[in-house]
Amino acid sequence: MLNYTLKRLLTMIPTLLVVITLTFFLMRVAPGGPFDEERPLAPAVLENIRASYGLDKPLIEQYWTYMGNLIQGDLGPSFVYRDKRVHEVLGEGLPISMTLGGTALFLALCIGVLLGTVAALNQNKRTDYLIVSFATFGITTPSFVLAPILTLIFALTFNLLPATGWGTPQQMVLPVLSLALPQIAIITRLMRGSMLEALRSDHVRTARAYGLPLTSVVGKHAMRSALLPVLSYVGPAAAALLTGSIVVEQIFNLPGIGRYFVSSALNRDYTMVMGTVIIISTLILIFNLIVDLLYAVLDPRVRYE
């Protein structure tokens, strides 16, 4: 297992290198540059600015410079936020995005697994219909619809919670709910389906036939195999949630990093695009590894040599 983990960690390096290289060159193929704005700059000024960021050098030289700096942990200067370097910008916003996404993920996992299990155990009964209806509503209501509705009800009509901002526990409630509800719905449906399948499996039916209590059958035997599909979904979803949601961050005006995934590409903030890509691809690789390792823990048939 340790060997396998180390091997996987090592294969992450070439994968990341390929992603970084592709992003670097693809970004430069896009027309326009970071200093092309509605008001054009005087040619000499533009030349100066480009030179000061090294953009006047041959592309391959820029690439090697970037990679050299990257190895030393420097993500370079932001082309838009001229007072800051990319690691500063991302460093300020990432903890906020991670707190928001982490809380939403935790809620979604706890509630989703619970609701899915309850629904499966009460298949075709009123509780099941209620939970499935809720899940269907959740899946069909995306965050960009849910968030303004929640704001309208809780912030603007009843004045119970703030409409925007970040910093207090109250300010977390609506963004976390907006982000978590669709995830709860998805996990509930996945969990219900896999739990139903698990309950029908031979080993669970045998356990029940031997007269083991229901809690033990579900908690010990069915849950392990029922969690596997949820796990497969949560891996990549966690990477996306933890790096922030542009929609939720924009609607609640949160200073996370979700916005940079779009704005940096539109502004041709090359170094910022690279920074966001590096973060999300690293997280995806790490979460995929965690999911694979957890598979081995949950399913005794899976063994990594």
Partner 1 sequence: MNFIRIFIILVLLFSSAKAEIFYRGNDGDPETLDHHGTSTVSESKIISDLYSGLVDFSAQAKVVPGTAERWDISKDGTLYTFYLRENAKWSNGDPVTAHDFAFAYRRLMTPETNAKYATILYPIKNAEKVNMGELPPSALGVRVVDDRTFEVELEQPTPYFLDQLTHGTAKPLHQKSVEALGPQFVKPGNMVSNGAYRLFSSTLNDRIVLQKNPHFYDAANVAIEEVQYIPFEDRSTCVRAWEAEEVHVCSDLPAQDLERLGRKYGTALQIAPYLGTYYYALDTTDALLSDPEIRRAMSMVIDREFLAEEIWPGMIPATSLVPVGINNYITGSPETDYFNLSMLDREDEAAAIMARKGITKKNPVTVEIMYNSGENHKNTATAIADMWSEIGINVSYNIRDGAAHYAYLRDRGKMQVARAGWIGDYSDPQNFLFLLESHNTGFNYAKYNNPEFDGLMADAAEELDLDQRAVLLQKAEALIMRDTPFLPIFYYSSFSLISPDVIGWESNVMNKNLTRYLTLAE
Using the rule CB under 8 A, is 30 a contact of partner 1?
yes
Among the listed ranges 61-69, 176-184, 196-204, 252-260, the one in contact with partner 1 (CB under 8 A) is 252-260
Cβ within 8 Å of residue 72, ≥6 positions away: none
Strand, helix or coil for residue 92 = helix
Residue nearer to partner 1 on the CB measure, 38 or 305:
38
Residue 258 CB, nearest distance to partner 1 (Å)?
10
Site for partner 1 in 176-215 (CB under 8 A): none
Give the separation between CA 156 and CA 162, rounded to whole angstroms: 9
Residue nearer to partner 1 on the CB measure, 18 or 160:
160
**Dihedral over alpha carbons 208, 211, 214, 217 (to 10 degrees):** -50
Residue 12 CB, nearest distance to partner 1 (Å)?
29
Among the listed ranges 13-21, 97-105, 226-234, 255-263, the one in contact with partner 1 (CB under 8 A) is 255-263
Among the listed ranges 24-32, 66-74, 132-140, 222-230, the one in contact with partner 1 (CB under 8 A) is 24-32
Q: Contact at 8 Å (CB) between 162 and 170?
A: yes
Residue 25 CA: distances (Å) to CA of 50, 56, 69: 17, 15, 17
Cβ within 8 Å of residue 106, ≥6 positions away: none
Copy the structure tokens of residue 256.
Answer: 């996370």
Residues that bind partner 1 (CB under 8 A): 30-45, 48-49, 52, 80-84, 89, 92-93, 148, 151, 155-156, 159, 162-166, 250-253, 255-256, 259, 263, 266-268
